[in-house]
Structure 1
């Protein structure tokens, strides 16, 4: 079961990264061009929200079934924090990704309340860009390729 969730989580991450990048640059470019907000832009933002939340659910299942998880009870939090691999997989990656998804959710929710297109795009651009930076900072690149 662990291997299936790991494969799904890894491949779904490519989709999350692609859609998040697309939504971020779409919002940045349309903010700079002062374009009007269209249904397509709403769908891109919504799809980013949905894909990222599905990734979170897959990641949470994976987190609790992964072999690293027993390190908390066997070695203790001090030993986990001293080991860079355990710290990445058990603390840094999950926490950073949850924060990124919270930023995506906040950005999506806030943009719906804005009335002008420029403010909608600016809100999405800021929150999604921050989320993209966090996601890129904590992807375990050595395990990804």
Structure 2
């Protein structure tokens, strides 16, 4: 069960990143001119946040129920703070990814409240960009990039 969820979390990361980059690129492209904010722009943001939510759910299942790393860390939190990998997954990765999800949702929600298309694009670009930065900074890049294909 652990391997299934870990592999799903690993592969879904790429869908989340692609959706985030797509939504961010659409937002940036709309900032410069008189382009209308369309249903496709809204859908790009919704796809990004929806995939983020699914990724967070899988991550929380791993964190609280399946991961041997976080089980060990939660059993002795003080000692875990001295072990880099345990601290990363028990605190740093979790908090940064929750912040990334919040930023993505802020981009979607706040853009709906803007009066002009340009303001909608600017709002999305800001919050989606911050979300992507938080994600990219805290993805465990040292682990297998495509779990299951590489024998890992």
Band of TM-score, shorter chain:
over 0.9
Which stretches of structure 1, 4 residues or longer, exceed 3 Å deviation after superposition? none
CA deviation map 1:93-125 (0-9, x unaligned): 111000100111111111111121001000000
Residue pair 2:112, 2:120 contacting (<8 A) in 1 also: yes
Note the C-alpha offset of 1:47: 0.7
Structure 1 partner of 2:133: 133
User: 99-108 vs 133-142, which deviates more?
Assistant: 99-108
Task: Map 1:39-54; keep pairs closer than 5 Å.
Answer: 39-54=39-54
Structure 2 partner of 1:66: 67
Q: Which has the higher helix share?
A: 1
Given the two structures, how large is their TM-score scaled by the length of structure 1? 0.94
Partner SS state of residue 32, structure 2: helix
Partner SS state of residue 33, structure 1: coil
Structure 2 partner of 1:142: 142
- Within 2, Cα distance between the matches of 1:63 and 1:80? 14
Structure 2: unaligned runs, 5 residues or longer: 146-152
Aligned length: 144
The structure-2 alpha-carbon separation of the partners of 1:144 and 1:24, relative to structure 1 and needing over 3 Å to count, comes to farther
Partner SS state of residue 142, structure 2: helix
Structure 2 partner of 1:57: 57
Q: CA RMSD in A?
A: 1.2
Structure 2 partner of 1:83: 83
Residue pair 2:24, 2:124 contacting (<8 A) in 1 also: yes
Given the two structures, how large is their TM-score scaled by the length of structure 2? 0.90
- Within 1, Cα distance between the matches of 2:125 and 2:5? 31
